[in-house]
Amino acid sequence: MASLDQAIGALVCVFHKYSGKEGDKNTLSKGELKELIQKELSLGAKLQEAEIQKLMADLDRNKDQEVNFQEYVTFLAAVAMVYHDAFAGCKK
């Protein structure tokens, strides 16, 4: 399997690893999102509760108090842009 296929598969698997613990298996509650961020992203341990609240509010476009897969992918795109900027000066 190609490396990009593996990366996309991992992103999907991480979503489903945390979704549904507190309700709908196809969405992340605030608690599930917080756990995902804290355990799966190195920046997660540094985020304060207020920052997680703001992130949840920003991601939850339809204001249903949950993050669906499309909203999650939007978040990942933003994180990828930060990584891109951080590693822009790196050589292969």
Rounded to two decimals, what is the model's pTM? Answer: 0.82
Domain boundaries, the chain: 3-86
pLDDT-derived band at 91, boundaries 50, 70, 90? low
- Pairwise CA distance, residues 59 & 63, whole Å: 9
Say which DSSP state 45 is in. Answer: G
The class level of CATH for 3-86 reads: mainly alpha
Q: What is the pLDDT of residues 36-81, one digit of tens each?
A: 999 998 877 777 778 878 888 888 888 888 999 999 999 899 888 8
- Pairwise CA distance, residues 29 & 22, whole Å: 7
Residue type, 91: K
